[in-house]
Amino acid sequence: MNNNVIRKDIRNVAIVAHVDHGKTTLVDGLLRQSGVFRENQHVEERVMDSNSLEKERGITILAKNTSIIYKDVKINIVDTPGHADFGGEVERTLKMVDNILLVVDAFEGPMPQTKFVLKKALELNLKPIVVVNKADRPDARPQDVVDEVLDLFISLNADEDQLEFPVIYCSAVQGWASLTPGEKGENLEPLFDLLIDTVYPPVGNEEPLQLMVTSIEYNEFVGRIAVGKLVNGIIRQGQPVTVHSPEGFTTQKIGKLYTYRGLNKVEITEGKYGDIYAVSGIDPINIGETICDIENPQPLPFVKIDEPTIAMNFIVNNSPFAGLEGKYVTSRHLRDRLMKELETNVSLRVEETDQTDSFEVRGRGELHLSILIETMRREGYEFQVSKPQVIFKNIDGVKHEPIERVTIDVPQEFSGTVIEKLGIRKGILVDMTNISSDHTRLELLVPARGLIGYRSEMLTDTKGNGILSHIFEGYEPFKGEINYRSRGSLVASDPGDASPYGLSQAQARGRMFIPSQTKVYVGMIVGENAKTNDIDVNVCKRKQVTNMRASGSDDAISLTPHTQLSLEQALEFINDDELVEITPKNIRLRKKQLDSKQRLREWKNNKN
């Protein structure tokens, strides 16, 4: 075997950060200034966020590859998700690169998800370059932020080499970088030069062939495309290879071979170790498998991925409105779609239940599962989902539950309310610091089930000023029962169209979720009761027409504006005996048991 050879013409780097710290915008700036786009070319903002949900929410969900050429060196940049819910994406991505660009906000500093991704990178012995972004903010505190990053590295047991990280100050939006804090640069060239000088060039051999598959793409013409870094060897179109999976070895043949140039995949005939390639023609192929040399197969170790912590049931829609709005409505459609998702979504688990029309889906968090639900809804699927439940573990005969480390930035006046509410949800305050004269950062350890339904409550309590983020901490013994919801539901007692008169009568009981003229069915949840119990209300009731007229009582009906629940809010709101009905056009809430008499009978039986 040859000695290791350095490829000086390649650099592989992942760009990682907390949500909304500007990493996708920074990639935009690097692409623009490297000449990837023509001068007159119209380019959308955050061009790497190609998924429609990513553009709407301003978050990165899927890891993506791009490359830029600078001074004859090809720099492969992988944009990774910032949410811990998409940790499976992050872990796989880090296996492809040699360094990371750690982007932190010049005011907010390192946040929980920054810690999550950095911990993964340090475990893989990757050396970071710290980019203090948004240095143009008027409230920027770059030097304090660098000190906080250093403290974070020390807390994660970084070695001496990792602690000697280079720092650069940027404004991704304005397109400049500077090595001196407080000094505005002219362009991003200092960052390009730092990347070339600091990122380790990949090292490898011309044999044996080893390519770790880190993501899967689909193309309707060539089928599944495996993407990964060629660790060793030379790869060619039409080459026979061995694919190593947990089940064993299979012999296959490479179809087309692609490399990344800018945002596009370009077909090539041969690729050399150290670069990132996309390969078609191999099926079956899954994430984590190794494409090996046919004569000397040496598989690479598979990356360990964090286990799911949240589970919910996906159920075929059986409400009175079933099949009216969706294109895919049967259990076969639902099963096929979930199985297809498993091929690319490595943190997801799908299990069959004892009911043929219900599947248990496990994910990394509420956001992870709600993104899947929203994606399926937009594709034309119609189904129902149950309340998210945390996944308990039995360790040495003791029931354990997942614990999340929660960080909340709030104005000082609301910190007491936040601590009190999370205390009720079995949260324990571990740290409290002032990040400015009027803002406090709270750090708590809270059971994962205690966070279900809390985000919207926190926003109400803090008048919209609270910022909440959390990462998985570990499993601890069961903390006891938590009372999630202090209020009941307003449940429709009659089918039909909601009338202004019926809604005006019902709104005296609590807040409404539906506007006038909404079609409702018996057992559908139309609002939240102000008290703890559920109440049946007739929102379709119409005022009796008589020839009697009373002075003042016939004035126009005044309706309080209804609360339109988003998908996440609906998932947070429902109780164990309730479901969310998902269709391409509507999100409805309903009781599992639609009949009120049967519901009462079941409630009495459970009480006894």
Q: What does each C-alpha distance from 461 to 79, 401, 406, 444, 466 come to in angstroms?
A: 34, 27, 17, 17, 9
Tell me where in the chain the CATH 3.30.70.240 domain(s) lie.
393-477
Cα separation, 44 vs 527, whole angstroms: 40
User: What tokens were used for 350?
Assistant: 């799908």
* Alpha-carbon Rg for the chain in angstroms: 27
CATH architecture of residue range(s) 484-545+554-564: Beta Barrel (2.40)
Tell me where in the chain the CATH 3.40.50.300 domain(s) lie.
9-201
Cα separation, 108 vs 433, whole angstroms: 13
Cα separation, 145 vs 433, whole angstroms: 14
CATH number at 306-391+565-593: 3.30.70.870
Q: Give the dihedral sign, CA 83/88/89/91.
A: positive
Give residue 358's pLDDT.
92
* Domain 205-292 CATH assignment equals 1.10.10.10: no
Neighbours of 157 (CB within 10 A): 10
Tell me where in the chain the CATH 2.40.30.10 domain(s) lie.
205-292
Q: Give the dihedral sign, CA 213/216/220/223.
A: positive
CATH number at 393-477: 3.30.70.240
- List, as one string, the DSSP characters of 57-103: HT---S-EEEEEEETTEEEEEEE---SGGGHHHHHHHHTT-SEEEEE
Give residue 38's pLDDT.
40
| Parts of the chain with a pLDDT under 50 | 1, 37-63, 82-87, 551-552, 554
Cα separation, 225 vs 218, whole angstroms: 6
Q: Is 22 annotated as a binding residue?
A: yes
Cα separation, 475 vs 390, whole angstroms: 11
Give residue 35's pLDDT.
63
Q: Is 83 annotated as a binding residue?
A: no
Give residue 452's pLDDT.
77
User: Per DSSP, which regions of 377-427 are E strands?
Assistant: 383-386, 389-390, 393-395, 398-411
358 membership: H or E segment, kind and range: strand 358-363
**pLDDT tens, residue by residue, 488-526:** 899 999 999 999 888 988 888 888 999 988 999 999 999
Q: What does each C-alpha distance from 545 to 469, 499, 507, 554 come to in angstroms?
A: 54, 14, 22, 11
239 membership: H or E segment, kind and range: none
Give residue 303's pLDDT.
61
Give residue 305's pLDDT.
60
Q: Is 105 annotated as a binding residue?
A: no
Tell me 381's DSSP state: B
Please check whether residue 526 is in contact with residue 537, taking contact to mean a CB–CB distance below 8 angstroms: yes
Give residue 100's pLDDT.
85
The gap between the terminal CA atoms of the chain, to the nearest Å, is 74
Give residue 57's pLDDT.
42
Q: Is 21 annotated as a binding residue?
A: yes
Tell me where in the chain the CATH 3.30.70.870 domain(s) lie.
306-391+565-593
Give the Cα-Cα-Cα angle 190, 195, 201 (nearest 5 degrees): 155
Give residue 63's pLDDT.
42
Cα separation, 517 vs 559, whole angstroms: 13
* Residue whose structure tokens are 């949900």: 53
Q: Is 24 annotated as a binding residue?
A: yes
Q: Is 474 annotated as a binding residue?
A: no
Tell me where in the chain the CATH 2.40.50.250 domain(s) lie.
484-545+554-564
Q: Backbone phi, then psi, for 87, in 5-degree steps?
A: -60, -30
Give residue 36's pLDDT.
52
CATH number at 9-201: 3.40.50.300
